[in-house]
């Protein structure tokens, strides 16, 4: 039986994990896929001392792997966008299937890559691009294909989840936990992609396109990070029966599709509120199946390699060059729903207001909220600390359109009794 030859571009965390997994489970993979699978060529700018590449050709020029006529499937694990895009497009032009775990590449250039692959009669598969070892793309594209997806909400960045978990469990500050996350290798030296939500927005772009049959539209996602969350916010949320999670949310409505990434108060009893550390989870509600939860490691060498190798096996199993499953799950991804601007979205809200400790301030705050027709669900007013002139006021609101709560916040911040900016965190019940 002719082996299927694999070329891998990139020998970092996921690349080395993919090599290790293909070697470790070689017999099992062959039994399941029906063919022996052999890594014959690796492109890496430098060696990885943790990866055994003995017997495998290694090139410093990654395009030598792409152009190798003996390579049947090209695995792109470089990261970044520009070079990765060039690698994938050239592989497609040469009639090779492509496996990638590059969420930024798919979110931004996916449609161009898929169109090129369709024209050439090959496939670009990308399970490893979202949520590591959790097969959420296969779930949405295949397992739940008979459902009309109503909404999904996910913790899809492990770094942010680790930081918020440690702030809650250890009573620590954002800066302190971030430094630890960097020391442990969970966060990059420049952590902005993780903590400011860009990484999660790339992944949500992909999930929403598959879930709703819409084009990939990264530029239309509302994105907000967690760097402004304080230990006080975490404690107040806990006192009120909530936990703060950095969620990626996509919801279908009559007005369009909501796409947003932001810190969110989630009731403590909800499953997503209890996903801790670097783990990921995605909650999906379909009209037939109801709510379903997918949970597990969202990153890491072997976890993501599990998804990458599964994609390789799917390509090997196919009897022809074109799988029957469309790249984004829909035969036509021009679905007629627009992405809603964040100003049109309605949520409940947590507000933390720092105010001077004066008589009548709470009444003025309530008057502003009433003027904007915002109902208050709960209020916490703390006593001032010794020597402090200001007190924190915590408000939970009922659902209100974003534009209206923004107007109310602006009016509150203009009050002379209110000090600094108001912290607002949206709230989700996640109960369907």
Residues noted as catalytic:
203
* Alpha-carbon distance values, 374 to 31, 43, 366, 398 (Å): 61, 58, 9, 7
Helices (H), 61-128: 62-66, 82-93, 103-120
Q: How far is CA 361 from the centre of its chain?
A: 40
**DSSP assignments along 110-140, one per residue:** HHHHHHHHHHHT--EE-GGGSSTTS-HHHII
**DSSP assignments along 2-48, one per residue:** PPEEEEEE--SHHHHHHHHHHHHTHHHHHHHHSS-EEEEEEE-SS--
392 touches 398 (CB < 8 A):
no
Per-residue tokens: 58: 């290694």
- As a whole number of angstroms, the distance between CA 100 and CA 7 comes to 12
3-state secondary structure of 152: strand
- As a whole number of angstroms, the distance between CA 241 and CA 425 comes to 14
Please list the residues that pair with 257 across neighbouring strands. Answer: 252, 339
Please list the residues that pair with 263 across neighbouring strands. Answer: 246
* Alpha-carbon distance values, 386 to 352, 383, 389 (Å): 20, 9, 9
* Alpha-carbon distance values, 136 to 102, 199, 206, 294 (Å): 15, 16, 11, 7
Per-residue tokens: 415: 């009050």
Give the HSE-up count for residue 2: Cα atoms under 13 Å, Cβ half-sphere.
Answer: 7
From 371, 394, 368, select the one nearest 381 (Cα to Cα): 394
Please, what sign has the CA dihedral across residues 101, 103, 109, 111? positive
160 touches 224 (CB < 8 A):
no
């Amino acid at each position: 039986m002719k082996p299927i030859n694999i070329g891998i571009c990139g020998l970092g965390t996921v690349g080395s994990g993919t090599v290790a997994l293909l070697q470790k489970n070689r017999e099992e993979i062959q039994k399941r896929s029906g063919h022996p699978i052999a890594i014959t060529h690796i492109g890496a700018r430098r060696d990885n001392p943790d990866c055994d590449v003995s017997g495998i050709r290694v090139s410093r020029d990654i395009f030598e792997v792409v152009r190798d006529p003996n390579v049947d499937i090209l695995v792109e694990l470089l990261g970044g966008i520009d070079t990765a895009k060039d690698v994938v497009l050239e592989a497609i032009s040469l009639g090779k299937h492509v496996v990638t775990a590059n969420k930024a590449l798919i979110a931004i250039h996916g449609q161009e890559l898929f169109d090129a692959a369709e024209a050439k009669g090959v496939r670009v598969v990308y399970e490893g691009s979202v949520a590591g070892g959790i097969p959420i793309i296969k779930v949405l594209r295949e397992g739940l294909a008979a459902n009309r997806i109503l909404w999904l909400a996910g913790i899809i960045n492990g770094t942010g989840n680790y930081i918020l978990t440690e702030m809650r469990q250890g009573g620590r500050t954002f800066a302190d936990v971030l430094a630890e996350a960097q020391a442990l290798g969970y966060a990059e030296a420049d952590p902005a992609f993780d903590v400011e939500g860009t990484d999660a927005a790339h992944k949500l772009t992909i999930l929403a396109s598959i879930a709703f049959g819409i084009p990939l539209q990264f530029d239309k996602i509302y994105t907000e990070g967690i760097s402004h969350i304080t230990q006080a916010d975490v404690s107040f949320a806990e006192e009120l029966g909530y936990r703060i999670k950095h969620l990626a949310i996509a919801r279908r409505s009559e007005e369009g599709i909501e796409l947003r990434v932001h810190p969110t108060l989630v009731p403590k009893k909800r499953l997503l509120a209890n996903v801790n550390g670097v783990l990921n989870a995605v909650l999906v509600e379909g009209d037939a199946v109801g709510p379903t939860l997918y949970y597990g490691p969202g990153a890491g060498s072997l976890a993501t390699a599990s998804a990458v190798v599964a994609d390789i096996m799917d390509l090997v199993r196919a009897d022809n060059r074109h799988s029957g499953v469309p790249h984004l799950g829909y035969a036509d991804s021009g679905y007629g729903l627009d992405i809603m601007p964040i100003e049109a979205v309605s949520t409940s809200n947590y507000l933390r207001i720092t105010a001077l400790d004066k008589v009548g301030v709470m009444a003025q705050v309530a008057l502003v909220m009433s003027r904007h027709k915002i109902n208050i669900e709960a209020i916490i007013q703390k006593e001032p600390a010794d020597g402090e002139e200001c007190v924190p006021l915590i408000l939970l609101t009922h659902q209100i359109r974003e534009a209206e709560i923004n107007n109310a916040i602006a009016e509150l911040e203009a009050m002379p009794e209110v000090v600094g900016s108001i912290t607002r965190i949206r709230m989700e019940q996640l109960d369907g």
